[in-house]
Amino acid sequence: MSISMGMSVIDMFFIIAIVSIAGLLVVVIGHGAVRPACPPGYARAARAS
């Protein structure tokens, strides 16, 4: 029981780490190179300003 619980916790940490790293990469790449791929909120703010 405790071993399976530990594995599930480790899996959760791995999923959170992978998702956060992927999100950071998407943000960095989006701000750096791929401007059209920005969310609509950013596009609206850029057009309004």
For position 20, what pLDDT does the model report?
A: 92
Mean pLDDT on 21-28 = 86
Q: What are phi and psi of 12, to 5 degrees?
A: -60, -45
- For the CA atoms of 14, 20, 24, 29, the dihedral, rounded to the nearest 10 degrees, stands at 70
Does 39 have pLDDT greater than 90? no
Q: Are 36 and 28 in contact (CB under 8 A)?
A: no
